[in-house]
């Protein structure tokens, strides 16, 4: 085994092979920077070249691209808040927040180093898996996979601490949206409403780009400023290195989670990164949890380590069992078959040198990719200080084009518009979008593994399996710890010097949180936004002196921008309630196996929405009492906040009008000609650019689209009047 490793390293260090490795790294970095393409696009671009090179060179080329895609996809996520891939959306919480504080250099340094470490640890994990993975993976059946998806969905509660009720509603909404399309256990198409486009379900990339990317675009256009404040990217390159060293345990844990997420079918990078983020937050101290979502280095280190190690984990079942762990791994599997190498258990004995070639390529590419990203990031980071309307003209074209790639149907643009509006409403009303994405990603695996488990095992058989018991303990343990902390806090509050009666009275009046012992000013602990809404709602109206204040230990993935008045939250909650009830009625028309999970999801969502509406009604009554008790002449700035909110809504509506205009132009002219019309008009009217700059910008966007179409095989939306020349 050691001889095979040295032989593979010697072959890889051949200058000709190194050239192909560097070419793969460069291709992967470029593809990673472009939102929505991902590792599949990188490998697909390079696949035609493998037929004219030697096997070791071809493997170095493809592995180099796969290893670095998740290193460069952080650049657009951190700098401008546009996810480079679905798995990079988690970096919007802390990475983009840090960039907005003028610390883009520090955020990128952390991301690149953590990604490099994740890649190296992933390569180590791939090496160690050769003798160990076979018995481990074969003992992991559908019951364990089902419990793993349940464990992943439970992270919605962890990621919405301080927004618990809204986070659960968002997670259930994601589960419901993931039910669209073919049912895994029955011959039914659910919630398609006769549309062939929806038969295959909604594409993850389109959903992520809409809910996070488009929502961020309209919010930033409404602000009409640059993404970050200041005039430089900061001097935090060295500080980022110190952060990674200081939190090395998060690098290790994140990498292990990523490897495991890659090994298991149906989990993947997106769920793996959110799991890593969830464990980082869950293992932080009580004071440390409140820093997540506001630029905490740990919120970058853990998911970014997992993001890159997932690809190494994907290779374990691909090489050892011939079962690709993801789309890029499936293309690599095809490349191996081209050279007559059949992945599987015999590969360890017959082609061990090939495995080590892939391992060395992955490790070297991770280092080279991080080094190149450091060189590229300084000029690219300056984008975060450009006025956002200038960037938005090109980003709108890129996002809609990226969302189009999976389905290749223009109808997806309408879905993205709708989900972009939903994402913005969730952002301003305090519904965390992270639980939504987790629910959407794990919806189909949850249902699939449930039915496999139910059909193959009785309840007592699968519930008592060791792996299931371990994951059940992991699921229940946080609840037990929370209960113990609550009881200890209550005993401390009722100790000497604080009579129990006064604690009870304070809890009734909303002055004391018995779970934490802190003053909250609220009689309900539903979520953080309940308090924020009463503070900003011009209808109930509370002064800044009497308005309830949020807890210090809270988390919120919506770290900037205006907060909607309380009536908007009530409206969104009511809309969720109506949606769940309508979906519940529609689900009753499906067969028994097709309607079971949607029915449970809709009932749960309706109950949670009803509880939220009741909590909001209680908050409004409390706000009315505070308003009545306010001293005459007390300052009241609710009118000012109301005017600011109405101004923001007008700008957001204006921004959505421009998005609708681009989609209509795509239907009529196709994406290329739509960009020629949309970009200069947007730059002139919104960004207030003039003259040659507008022409050069438009030519650059059009050239990028055509180059991607002809050399990267990127499909462009075709309209009714698109010339045949642009349909190639």
Q: List b or e across 556-566, with b for residues whose CB sees 16 or more CB atoms inside 10 angstroms.
A: bbbbbbbbbbb
Strands 189-190 and 181-182: antiparallel
> Could you give the percent of the chain with pLDDT greater than 90?
15
Pick from 400-404, 558-562, 724-728: least confident: 558-562
Residue 419 has pLDDT above 90, yes or no: yes
Report d(CA 106, CA 630) in Å as an integer: 46
Report d(CA 56, CA 68) in Å as an integer: 18
| pLDDT for 598 | 92
What integer is the mean pLDDT of 235-245?
80
Write the Ramachandran bin of 690: left for phi over 0, alpha for psi from -120 to 50, otherwise beta.
beta
Report d(CA 571, CA 123) in Å as an integer: 49
Pick from 11-20, 167-176, 325-334: least confident: 325-334
Among 225, 319, 317, 207, residue whose Cα is nearest residue 266: 317
Residue pair 63/25 in contact (Cβ under 8 Å)? The answer is no
Residue 221 has pLDDT above 90, yes or no: no
| pLDDT for 494 | 60
Write the Ramachandran bin of 609: left for phi over 0, alpha for psi from -120 to 50, otherwise beta.
alpha
| pLDDT for 681 | 94
| pLDDT for 143 | 86
Compute CA distances 232 → 86, 226, 386, 537, 690, whole Å: 28, 12, 11, 36, 25
Residue pair 89/83 in contact (Cβ under 8 Å)? The answer is yes
Residue 351 has pLDDT above 70, yes or no: yes
* C-alpha gyration radius of the chain: 26
Residue 431 has pLDDT above 80, yes or no: yes
The residues, ordered by sequence, that sit 6+ positions from 191 with a Cβ below 8 Å of its Cβ are 179, 180, 181, 198, 583, 586, 598
What integer is the mean pLDDT of 523-547?
37
Q: List b or e across 21-39, with b for residues whose CB sees 16 or more CB atoms inside 10 angstroms.
A: bbbbbbbbbbbbbbbbbbb
Residue pair 18/26 in contact (Cβ under 8 Å)? The answer is no
Among 294, 295, 299, residue whose Cα is nearest residue 281: 299
| pLDDT for 2 | 64
What integer is the mean pLDDT of 284-294?
73
Other beta carbons within 10 angstroms of residue 344's beta carbon come to 15
Compute CA distances 369 → 68, 239, 382, 586, whole Å: 6, 20, 20, 49
For the chain, give the mean pLDDT: 77
- pLDDT tens readout for residues 496-508: 544 444 444 444 3
Band (491; pLDDT cuts 50, 70, 90)? confident
- pLDDT tens readout for residues 330-341: 667 767 777 777
Pick from 132-141, 455-464, 582-591: least confident: 132-141
Residue pair 521/511 in contact (Cβ under 8 Å)? The answer is yes
Report d(CA 71, CA 375) in Å as an integer: 13
> Could you give the percent of the chain with pLDDT greater than 70?
74
Higher pLDDT, 459 or 140: 459
Kindly report whether the global pTM for this prediction surpasses the value 0.85. no
| pLDDT for 135 | 63
Q: List b or e across 685-719, with b for residues whose CB sees 16 or more CB atoms inside 10 angstroms.
A: ebbebeeeebeebbeebbebbeebbeebebbbbbb
| pLDDT for 439 | 84
State both tokens at 718: 């075709």
Which residue's structure tokens are 């309630």? 577
Higher pLDDT, 347 or 427: 427
Among 96, 75, 97, residue whose Cα is nearest residue 84: 75
Residue pair 93/73 in contact (Cβ under 8 Å)? The answer is no
Band (519; pLDDT cuts 50, 70, 90)? very low
Higher pLDDT, 308 or 496: 308
Band (703; pLDDT cuts 50, 70, 90)? very high
Range list of H helices, 458-591: 459-463, 466-493, 500-509, 528-536, 566-587
Q: Cα angle vertex 263, ends 258, 269, to 5°?
A: 40
- pLDDT tens readout for residues 167-195: 889 989 999 999 999 888 788 899 988 88
| pLDDT for 537 | 40
What integer is the mean pLDDT of 588-613?
91
| pLDDT for 156 | 61
Higher pLDDT, 674 or 68: 674
């Amino acid at each position: 085994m050691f001889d095979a490793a040295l032989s593979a390293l010697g072959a890889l260090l051949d200058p000709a092979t190194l050239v192909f490795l560097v070419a793969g790294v460069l291709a992967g970095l470029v593809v990673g920077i472009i939102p929505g393409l991902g590792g599949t696009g990188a490998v697909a671009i390079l696949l035609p070249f493998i037929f004219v090179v030697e096997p070791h060179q071809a493997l170095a080329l493809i592995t180099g691209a796969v290893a670095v895609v998740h290193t460069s996809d952080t650049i657009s996520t951190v700098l401008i808040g546009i996810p480079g891939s679905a798995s990079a959306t988690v970096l919007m919480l802390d990475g983009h927040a840090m960039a907005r504080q003028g610390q883009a250099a520090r955020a990128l340094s952390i991301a690149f180093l953590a990604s490099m470490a994740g890649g190296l640890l992933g390569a180590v994990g791939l090496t160690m898996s050769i003798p160990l993975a076979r018995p481990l993976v074969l003992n992991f059946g559908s019951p364990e996979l089902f419990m793993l998806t349940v464990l992943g969905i439970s992270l919605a509660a962890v990621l919405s601490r301080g927004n618990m009720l809204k986070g659960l509603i968002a997670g259930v909404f994601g589960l419901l949206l993931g039910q669209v399309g073919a049912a895994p256990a029955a011959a039914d198409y659910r919630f398609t409403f006769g549309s062939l486009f929806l038969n295959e379900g909604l594409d993850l990339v389109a959903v992520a780009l809409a809910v996070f990317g488009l929502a961020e675009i309209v919010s930033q256009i409404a602000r009409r400023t640059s993404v970050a404040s200041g005039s430089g990217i900061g001097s935090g390159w060295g500080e980022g290195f110190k952060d990674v060293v200081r939190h090395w345990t998060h690098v290790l844990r994140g990498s292990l989670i990523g490897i495991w997420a890659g090994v298991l079918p149906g989990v993947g990078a997106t769920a793996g990164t959110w799991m890593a983020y969830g464990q980082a937050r869950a293992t932080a101290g009580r004071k440390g949890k409140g820093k997540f979502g506001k630029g905490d280095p740990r919120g970058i280190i853990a998911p970014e380590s997992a993001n890159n190690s997932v690809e190494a984990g994907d290779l374990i079942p691909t090489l050892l069992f011939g079962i690709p762990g993801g789309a890029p791994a499936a293309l690599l599997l095809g490349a191996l078959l081209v050279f007559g190498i059949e992945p599987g258990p015999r590969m360890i004995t017959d082609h061990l040198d090939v495995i080590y070639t892939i391992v060395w390529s992955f490790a070297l590419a991770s280092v080279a990719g991080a080094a190149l990203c450091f060189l590229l990031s300084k000029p690219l980071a300056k984008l975060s200080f450009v006025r956002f309307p200038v960037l938005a003209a090109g980003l709108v074209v890129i996002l809609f084009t990226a969302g189009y790639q999976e389905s290749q149907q223009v109808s997806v643009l309408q879905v993205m518009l709708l989900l972009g509006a939903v994402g913005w409403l969730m952002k301003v009303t305090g519904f965390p979008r992270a639980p939504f994405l987790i629910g959407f990603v794990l919806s189909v695996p949850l249902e699939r593994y449930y039915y496999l488990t139910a059909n193959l095992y009785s309840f007592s058989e699968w519930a008592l399996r060791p792996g299931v018991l371990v994951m059940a303990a992991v699921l229940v343990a946080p609840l037990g710890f929370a209960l113990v902390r609550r009881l200890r806090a209550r005993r401390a509050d009722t100790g000497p010097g604080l009579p129990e009666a006064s604690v009870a009275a304070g809890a009734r009046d909303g002055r004391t949180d018995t779970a934490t012992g802190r003053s909250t000013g609220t009689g309900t602990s539903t979520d953080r936004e309940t308090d924020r809404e009463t503070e900003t709602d011009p209808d109930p109206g509370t002064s800044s002196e009497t308005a309830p204040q949020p807890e210090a230990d809270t988390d919120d993935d919506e770290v900037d921008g205006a907060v909607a008045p309380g009536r908007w939250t009530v409206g969104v909650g009511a809309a969720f309630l109506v949606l769940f009830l309508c979906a519940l009625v529609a689900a009753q028309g499906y067969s028994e196996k097709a309607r079971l999970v949607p029915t449970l999801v809709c009932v749960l969502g309706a109950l949670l929405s009803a509880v939220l509406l009741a909590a909001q009604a209680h908050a409004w009554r409390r706000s009315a009492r505070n308003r009545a008790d306010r001293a005459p002449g007390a300052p009241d700035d609710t009118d000012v906040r109301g005017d600011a909110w109405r101004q923001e809504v007008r700008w957001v509506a204006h921004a959505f009008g421009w998005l609708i205009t681009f989609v209509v132009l795509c239907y009529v002219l196709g994406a290329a000609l739509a960009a020629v019309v949309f970009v200069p008009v947007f730059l002139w009217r919104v960004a207030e650019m003039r003259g040659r700059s507008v022409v050069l910008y438009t030519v650059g966007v059009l050239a990028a689209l055509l180059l991607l179409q002809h050399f990267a095989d990127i499909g462009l939306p075709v309209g009714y009047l698109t010339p045949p020349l642009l349909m190639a």
